[in-house]
Amino acid sequence: MNELVKAVKQAAVEAVRAEAPVAVCYGTVTSASPLKIQVDQKKTLTDPQLILTDNVRDFNVEMSTIEGTGKSLGPHYTEDESGGSGYPAFAAHKHRYQGRKKWRVHNALKVGEKVILLRCDGGQKYIVLDRWEARE
């Protein structure tokens, strides 16, 4: 009978945890690749448990150049300087650029960074929301 009572208690505890839709917790990155985040002394989260936001991962973004009539919003040009290597491809040149450009934003987590996590799905998944200490 004692085992039955323990099983019922465990089921009740798990049901209560599952009812809590979200909980905030904090962690420290212990490995960048594969990503591991230590939440407490006994619990380390791994890649399959983590959902990353753009605040904590590398991602691509498309941006457009803006042209206007004022001094600060005129056409955009490359710099008229050479690359210094002596190769013709790096010779001084100047040309206009415009339109949509794709850029890579490097936001990936690094070992030692502290993060804010949202626990969801009864503790099965964690959303890594952002860093909570400034990067150096």
Structural domains in the chain, sorted by start: 22-58+106-136 (2.40.50.140), 63-97 (no CATH)
**pTM for the whole thing?**
0.65
Please give the pLDDT value at position 76: 60
- In this model, does residue 1 exceed pLDDT 90? no
- 121-133: average pLDDT: 86
- In this model, does residue 26 exceed pLDDT 90? yes
- What tens digit of pLDDT does each residue of 66-125 get? 665 555 555 666 666 666 666 766 666 666 667 788 999 999 999 999 999 998 867 789
Distance between CA atoms of residues 96 and 87, nearest Å: 22
Contact 89, 95 (CB under 8 A): no
Whose CA is closest to 25, among 39, 43, 41? 39
- 8-24: average pLDDT: 71
